[in-house]
Structure 1
């Protein structure tokens, strides 16, 4: 069984979304154990084909779970959800500049927006906990740290940028276990993309993440890096689109889809 010290772990996706719709702002790591979480990026329809191509070319960083048609704000991944209101925090962009970070984007929504929902590593965190792998960011009450790397995503027209990674400190004797647990979860970024030396992927200082919060490593911990869906957000920001909406990093859509282990240890989405 999953550890249940935190009440948020037992919160159903529907209840979590309702609380966020009512104004609660919280990063969603540790919420609704066993359910799939996603990033959100909304762009004008004319840019949607190229952005989808970017996601397809970078499946490790951008595992595409749904594309929502122009103007629509619902998804089969979360019945009854309103994509304009049911995430804890959003970011609104104009020409690559952050212009607002509201709790909902109803007033910014338009009939031209196509929305991409991309998998998130928060989905696999309960399985790490169940295996006895600590989640230092939850222990310390902060958002997971995320970093731009020196690895370049494969571009698609105007969409280019670095691969962004999230980092979790893992005790050295459990790194292989963490990789094994996550390798069969491509919808949640899969196995780590790097273990150990941050400098070799262009991360100069773990204490200064580009997104999220710094996390203290314990003695014997090794920094382990997974590809992150903020890669898609970075591509949109660097493209300097006239307008775009994204989730605020760490503040995800909690869907109704369950992630379950199969008998072989594989973890998959149940539809």
Structure 2
């Protein structure tokens, strides 16, 4: 299906999760081509209804793929996966402060936690690559850069905050192609939310991302911005919940569901 020579691109989701469970820490862009990747956020049950409302109100930034019942740590999206151990890196939060960034959250897990799985732009990257659109962050060996913007997500009770975007430099003559490919993948954030001037969406310096790492633009490249699932994490952090868990940005759950640029693939967005 895909011709890239990177070995991790051909790694099955099950094998990738096993390697992360064994302690490998790596951002998952470029892994397991053709499969859906997902952000993770876990919050106490009493906050779950409001957080789900926030996600539903912001489907571009938070395409909701699954909501896992309180205390459970498995999902039908990835058979046999342990959501506490099978992502490369997590973040643990207390009242809005980052208190740990472990590779397993087994010791932090509780029976009260409801887990949200939200789509990720890493899902559509192989389709861009197959169409001849370069992925500069993979070329340069860095995590994709992500930025807070001046666009506000629609709030839900205590959950509110900025829309976060990821940025990929795209050669100007390929921007429309990139937009067309990703438009048909709403479960991976869909088409870009902005093309061109970073300042227009409140980003002062592309070389200083809020998450991930900076990436160099090549001559003729244009910065292209897609909504990012870290928007949900930001809302949780700003709400200063007593406790929460999230993935570390760029370190996703790789699911068993296949992705296709046809609007659905093998997955749907929960409303």
What TM-score does the superposition give when structure 2 sets the normalisation length?
A: 0.98
CA contact (8 A) 1:95 1:243 kept: yes
Q: Which residue matches 1:162?
A: 162
2-side partners of 1:65 and 1:205: how far apart? 32
Once the two structures are superposed, what CA deviation does each residue of 1:53-91 show, in whole Å capped at 9, x if it has no partner?
Answer: 000000000000000000000000000000000000000
Moved over 6 A (4+): none
1:268 positional shift: 2.4
Aligned residue in 2 for 1:114: 114
Contact 2:150 2:162 in 1 (8 A): yes
**Matches for 1:29-44 after TM superposition, within 5 Å:** 29-44=29-44
CA distance in 2, matches of 1:3, 1:205: 34
Give runs of aligned pairs for residues 212-231 of structure 1, distance below 5 A. 212-231=212-231
Tell me what 1:268 maps to. 264
**SS of structure 2 residue aligned to 1:20:** helix
Tell me the residue number matched to 2:140: 140
CA separation in 2, counterparts of 1:150 and 1:228? 14
Equivalent residue runs for 1:93-112 within 5 Å = 93-112=93-112
**Aligned residue in 2 for 1:240:** 240
SS in structure 2 at match of 1:270: coil
Match of 2:187 in 1: 187
Unaligned ranges ≥5, structure 2: none
Q: Offset of 1:267 from its aligned partner?
A: 4.5
After superposition, give the CA deviation of every residue in 1:77-106 in whole Å (9 maximum; x if it has no partner). Answer: 000000000000000000000000000000
Question: Hey, what does 1:177 align to over in structure 2?
Answer: 177
Kept in 2, the 8 Å contact 1:3–1:129? The answer is no
CA contact (8 A) 1:27 1:250 kept: yes
Cα-to-partner distance string for 1:14-40 (whole Å, 9 max, x where unaligned): 000000000000000000000000000
Q: Contact 1:259–1:267 at 8 Å: present in 2 too? A: no
Alignment partner, residue 63 of structure 2: 63
The two structures have a TM-score, normalised by structure 1, of 0.98
1:139-193 Cα offsets, whole Å, 9 max, x none, are: 0000000000000000000000000000000000000000000001110000000
For 1:56 and 1:26, the matched residues in 2 are separated by 30
Per-residue deviation at 1:270?
1.5
Q: What's the RMSD between the two structures over aligned residues?
A: 0.7
Tell me the SS of whatever aligns to 1:268: coil
Shift of 1:221: 0.1
Question: Does residue 81 of structure 2 align to residue 81 of structure 1?
Answer: yes
Q: Deviations over 1:194-247 (max 9, x none)?
A: 000000000000000000000000000000000000000000000000000000
